[in-house]
Amino acid sequence: MRILRGLYGAVGFALAAVLAAALTLTSGGPAHAGQTPLRAADPSVIRVGGTYISVQSTGGGISVRQAASTDALASAPARQVWSDTRGRGEVWAPELVRDGGRYYIYFTAGAGANHRMFVISSASADSGYTAETQLALPDDKWAIDGTLFTFSGQRWFVWSGWAGDTNVEQNLYIARMSSPTTPTGARYIISQPRESWERVVGNPFINEAPEAIKDPNGQLHIVYSANGSWSNQYCLADLRLRPGGDPTYVWDWYKSNGCLFGSNAATMMRGWDPTLYVDGPGHHSFVLLDGDIATSPPAGPRFPLMFHAVPKGTPYSWSNRYWYTGTFCWWGGVTYSRANVPGPNTDTGWGLKFFE
């Protein structure tokens, strides 16, 4: 097992002992992550009972796979559940969510500046989906990588989008939802790619692929991908909502001071090591029970993660991305710092460690 450096606080030392002893996952599988045979991007995976369910974009449609483990998903048969019969355009990054016992798949479709978020739903994971409906997101701007979650009794939708109508930078936005298919109120910006470590690759600079999770203290995190997905600088970073914070108020969010999962030492947060086996890990999926952040894992063990990356030694390109199985755990006593903005300059709480 690889020894990690950079421990933060007493909780961090306690977790280090746990990690040193934990050579297997809670499911009994290997602790080391692996490249799956599936050459694809943007995994979205949830667990329902003992079944793992994934969705992916397949040509002009969306396919669902089901298997008894994350490792087995890549070899499971892909069942197409939606086809682009209306010429919606490029179909990107479908995201599977379960709400009220019903399955919802959010995805991006369009071309150029016309990319927008759509949703389909069904009572069954792999059949019977409705026709697509465009989400009426506030301001109706370019939007990709959206996902739904519930926090503090309120449904929220978070996505990557443009402030205006031109491709300058991709920001993270959040909006309330009155139902799984109905946004309500305004959109609020919660992150912009303004830190030096997330501006290594640009044109545009990028914050995208947001995924929500709750830490052991119940605080909300949005883990996202930074830097261009066309480069090996692609990486995961974290937004942590301060205790009692307002998800719509940008200065209640504290950003990690570097990548938490990436392949370039220069952009990693202090105490986080770059990957050994993959380049440009990103666009991840926390594999949660029912896809519900209320089932977010406690401190201590590692839990399943899926992400896409390119094997080291392979030319970095979109066509060379594979799905990978990995793990993550909470890391205690982590301070995120900032300057020249409203509110306290530092916030200390749970961060995340990611493992290949």
pLDDT digits (tens, 9 = 90+) for 188-244: 999 999 999 999 998 899 999 999 999 999 999 999 999 999 999 999 999 999 999
The token pair at 115 is 């990319």
How confident is the model at residue 205, as a pLDDT? 97
The Cα–Cα gap between 117 and 183 comes to 11
How confident is the model at residue 258, as a pLDDT? 98
Model confidence over 139-192: pLDDT tens digits?
999 999 999 999 999 999 999 999 999 999 999 999 999 999 999 999 999 999
Model confidence over 245-288: pLDDT tens digits?
999 999 999 999 999 999 999 999 999 999 999 999 999 999 99
pTM recorded for the entire structure:
0.91
Q: Of 327 and 2, which is predicted with more confidence?
A: 327
- With CA atoms as reference, report the closest residue to 236 among 112, 356, 69: 356
Instruction: Tell the residue number behind the tokens 């205006």, with chain if given.
Output: 164
Confidence band for 338, pLDDT divided at 50, 70 and 90: very high
Q: Of 17 and 85, which is predicted with more confidence?
A: 85
Checking if the pLDDT of 340 tops 80, the result is: yes
Which residues on adjacent β-strands are paired with residue 256?
none
The Cα–Cα gap between 272 and 7 comes to 9
Q: Which residues contact 220 (CB under 8 A, 6 or more apart)?
A: 151, 212, 213, 214, 240, 241, 245, 247, 293
Backbone angles phi, psi at 214, to 5 degrees: -110, 140
Confidence band for 55, pLDDT divided at 50, 70 and 90: very high
How confident is the model at residue 60, as a pLDDT? 87
Q: What count of residues does the chain have?
A: 356
257 with 272: CB under 8 angstroms? no
How confident is the model at residue 133, as a pLDDT? 98
